[in-house]
Amino acid sequence: MQCIVDGLVVGYDVLGKGKTIVMLHGWGASRQSLSALAKELSKKYQVVLVDVPGFGESAKPTKSWGLSEYAEWVQSFLQKIKIKNVYALLGHSNGGAIAIKLTSLGFQSEKLILLGAAGIRKRNRGRKLLFKAVAKTGKAATIVLPKKVKKAIRNKWYKTIGSELYHAPGMEATFKKIAAEDMQLEAAMICTPTLLIYGAEDEATPPLFGRIYHEAIEGSELDIVEGAGHYSFVDRPEVVFARVRAFLG
């Protein structure tokens, strides 16, 4: 389906019936990247999938945007399609950073799900967290740094869902603007029950990002999925789908 929001053509889908879950994809991807998870959740919920401006079937912004502009746009989009109550907001990678910004600005949802969420730019705090964790356990093995993903089948899956993580022609200025934004302070403002899921082999948004957000978001839950990279819900769907279903209740 398509509509026009703030002068931009937007591609989106609405699946299923029930309480509403809104899904935001990552940079360089599209709503198609989350389609399998959306199909699974649509058995019980109404799922809204949208291509954020500049990706998929949605038009590019006329100027460079930051996370605030994307967050405000999401609210305008939901108003346009007459979604008033959101049960859960789910974001992957950059979509997770948008979700954090959106929630910190007062957007109301009963639950927040962040899959490999981006937005950690200042690494000093992350390094301190790493040292703290190692000192506490006495075992460096408890903090597993991401390994290079080499499996050909995984690369094939990523190609199939159309994701080139940082390649987005015409969006360079927006990427630079977003890449300069750190979401740790915004994350600390979140009171919404939050589930964090990160792939143990994720190089783009490593498990350390999840630990930093877990420390910042009071009461949050963190799962590190073994054998999964940046697209944990593609690499280990049975694990991620079950965890998300359980969190949603």
- DSSP assignment of 86-133, as one string? EEEEEEETHHHHHHHHHHHTT--EEEEEEES------HHHHHHHHHHH
Banded model confidence at residue 123, pLDDT cuts 50, 70, 90: low
CATH number at residue 21: 3.40.50.1820
Confidence at residue 169, expressed as pLDDT on a 0 to 100 scale: 82
Number of domains in the chain: 1
Question: Residues 63, 36: contact at Cβ < 8 Å?
Answer: no
For residue range 64-105, list pLDDT tens digits in order: 999 999 999 999 999 999 999 999 999 999 999 999 999 999
Report which of residues 142 and 39 the model is more confident about.
Answer: 39
Separation between Cα atoms, residue 72 and residue 86, nearest integer Å: 15
Question: What is the average pLDDT value for the chain, to the nearest integer?
Answer: 87
DSSP β-bridge partners for residue 21: 47, 88
Report which of residues 110 and 167 the model is more confident about.
Answer: 110
Domain hosting residue 195, numbered range: 2-248
Confidence at residue 127, expressed as pLDDT on a 0 to 100 scale: 47
Q: Tell me: pLDDT of 221 over 60.
A: yes
Six token digits for residue 67: 């996370």
Per-residue pLDDT, averaged over 213-229, amounts to: 98
User: Percentage of the chain with pLDDT > 70?
Assistant: 82
Confidence at residue 122, expressed as pLDDT on a 0 to 100 scale: 82
| Local structure of 30: helix, strand or coil | coil
Confidence at residue 124, expressed as pLDDT on a 0 to 100 scale: 58
> pTM of the prediction?
0.85
Which regions of the chain does DSSP assign to beta strands (E)? 2-5, 8-15, 20-24, 46-50, 86-92, 109-115, 194-199, 221-225
